[in-house]
């Protein structure tokens, strides 16, 4: 007899595995360049999530998460050879602390409270990555994240239907579905095209403004030189000061010029072609 409570977790696990296969391929090709230290923290988080969720429900319900732990282990192993070790970021230290605290809580109380703490760790771990993609959508590709999103949504449905409806077991799958969906949407190809058009437009505008300001500053310097050369022929010192102030106050122009050059430098650092 067909058992939907078994089929849904297996389907979610397969889709999750496909997503990690795509992600690993991106890592091999250099499209994604993860930090091994960051991956170790995420691997720790994934393993704890699988273990606590399994304890809250059953190993079958957590099948996707166990597959995800294996997939993250593969990514971490690859990153050790292809990535560059860097210190944990300011966002990752709290994630590590939450993981360690959840182990203590799990052993002293129950798995549910520990899993809720891991939800906070997931939120902290995704926040800087989502912001990075918002700033530059070229950092990742959407395909793997769509598989992750569908897998987590299936696990959410399975948890709701077969494990008590709206319970605390629903929190982690729903949060993970939303987080992966946001990442997938942020690195869509259509958004990358729109982002590139916007950056090119800003670059061209900054170049134009710099050119106009440089011409205006050069013109004012030329007029200043003429004023100084003809200072003897000007009637009063007051009149001379008034004329000089009219043409020689280029401080605002230079400030604007520095601003546009700074904006141009920021855009050029993104390697817009």
Does an H or E element contain 16, and which?
Answer: helix 4-29
- Quick check: 191 and 137 in contact, CB under 8 A? yes
Q: What is the model's pLDDT at position 38?
A: 81
| Cβ atoms of 13 and 64 closer than 8 Å | yes
Residuewise pLDDT in 10s, the chain (273 residues):
568 889 999 999 999 999 999 988 887 777 666 777 788 888 999 999 999 999 999 999 999 999 999 999 988 888 777 766 677 788 888 898 999 999 999 989 889 999 999 999 999 989 988 998 888 888 888 999 999 999 999 999 999 999 888 899 999 999 999 999 999 999 888 888 777 787 778 777 777 777 777 777 777 666 655 555 555 455 445 555 555 555 445 566 667 667 766 766 666 666 665
The two tokens of residue 115 are 């899993």
Residue count of the chain: 273
Residue with tokens 């030329």: 222
Angle at 13 between CA 7 and CA 15, to 5 degrees: 100
Q: In Å, how far are 15, 73, 131, 151 from 41, measured between CA atoms? A: 23, 11, 19, 22
What is the pTM (predicted TM-score) of this model? 0.75
Task: Classify burial at 89, counting beta carbons within 10 Å of its beta carbon; exposed 0-12, middle 13-18, buried 19 or more.
Answer: middle
What was the pLDDT predicted at 247? 47
Domain boundaries of the chain, sorted by first residue: 4-187, 193-269
Spatial CA neighbour of 28 closest among 74, 87, 67: 74
Kindly tell me the burial class for residue 165, based on how many C-beta atoms sit within 10 Å of its own C-beta (0-12, 13-18, 19 or more): exposed
């Amino acid at each position: 007899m067909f058992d939907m409570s078994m089929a849904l977790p297996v389907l979610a696990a397969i889709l999750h595995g496909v997503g990690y296969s795509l992600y690993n391929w991106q890592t091999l090709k250099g499209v994604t360049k993860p930090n091994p230290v960051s991956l170790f923290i995420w691997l720790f988080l994934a393993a704890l999530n699988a273990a606590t969720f399994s304890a809250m429900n059953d190993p079958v319900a957590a099948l996707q998460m166990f597959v995800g732990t294996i997939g993250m282990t593969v990514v971490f192993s690859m990153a050790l050879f292809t990535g560059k070790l860097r210190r944990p970021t300011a966002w990752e230290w709290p994630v590590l602390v939450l993981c360690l605290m959840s182990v203590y809580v799990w052993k002293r109380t129950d798995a549910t409270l520990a899993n809720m703490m891991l939800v906070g760790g997931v939120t902290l771990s995704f926040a800087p990555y989502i912001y990075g993609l918002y700033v530059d959508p070229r950092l990742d590709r959407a395909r793997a994240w769509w598989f992750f999103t569908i897998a987590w949504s299936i696990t959410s449905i399975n948890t709701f239907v077969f494990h008590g409806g709206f319970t605390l077991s629903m929190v982690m799958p729903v949060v993970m579905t939303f987080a992966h969906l946001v990442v997938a949407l942020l690195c869509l190809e259509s958004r990358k095209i729109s982002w590139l058009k916007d950056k090119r437009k800003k670059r061209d505008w900054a170049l134009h403004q710099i050119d106009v300001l440089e011409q205006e500053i050069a013109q004012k310097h030329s007029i200043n030189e003429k004023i100084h050369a003809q200072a003897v022929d000007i009637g009063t010192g007051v009149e001379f000061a008034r004329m000089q102030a009219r043409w020689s106050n280029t401080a605002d122009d230079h400030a604007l010029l520095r601003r546009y050059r700074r904006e141009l430098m920021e855009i050029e650092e993104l390697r817009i072609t």
